[in-house]
Amino acid sequence: MKFNDVFVVDDDKIFHFIIKKLLASSNIDVTPAFFENGLQAIEGIKNKLQNGETPPDLILLDINMPVLDGWQFLEEFKILKEQIQKEIAIYIISSSDNTVDIDRAKDFEEEVTDYYLKPVTVEAIRSIFSA
């Protein structure tokens, strides 16, 4: 699957910068949209739907964020995805290696494709984008 439209949902500006660098160094030609919390990302998806635009193909999602965290985002996304006519791949990228979080991601197996730990490597980015 080719990902064209990517949402990066993470409150860490340095992570945004790292993702841009990893995409460029891997010659992955996408223009990511960056959101600092889950609420902004949900609103971003809703805006695209309301404007007749295609929602993102891929969402890179952090767990620990202000306003709406990754889990709350996934709960909202579950409701919203009934209006979406395509598959959206969601990869959790978190600094949490806590088994509680990793197991909780399995509760969203319909939504979450995979779980990666930070720091994100070139290999991880390439495996996501070559999926």
- The residue extents of the domains of the chain are 5-27+37-110
Grade residue 1 by pLDDT with cuts at 50, 70 and 90. Answer: low
Q: How many residues does the chain have?
A: 131
| pLDDT for residue 15 is more than 70 | yes
| pLDDT reported for residue 91 | 97
* Cα(105)–Cα(107) distance, integer angstroms: 5
* 85 or 45, which is more confident: 45
| 55 Cβ neighbours under 8 A, 6+ residues apart | 5, 45, 48, 49, 84, 86, 88
Token pair recorded at residue 38:
């889950």
* Backbone torsions φ then ψ of 54, nearest 5 degrees: -80, 135
| pLDDT reported for residue 100 | 95
| pLDDT reported for residue 75 | 97
* Cα(20)–Cα(24) distance, integer angstroms: 6
Q: Is the pTM of this model over 0.85?
A: yes
| pLDDT tens track for 86-107 | 999 999 999 999 999 999 999 9
| pLDDT tens track for 48-88 | 999 999 999 999 999 999 999 999 999 999 999 999 989 99
Give me the CATH code for the 5-27+37-110 domain, please: 3.40.50.2300
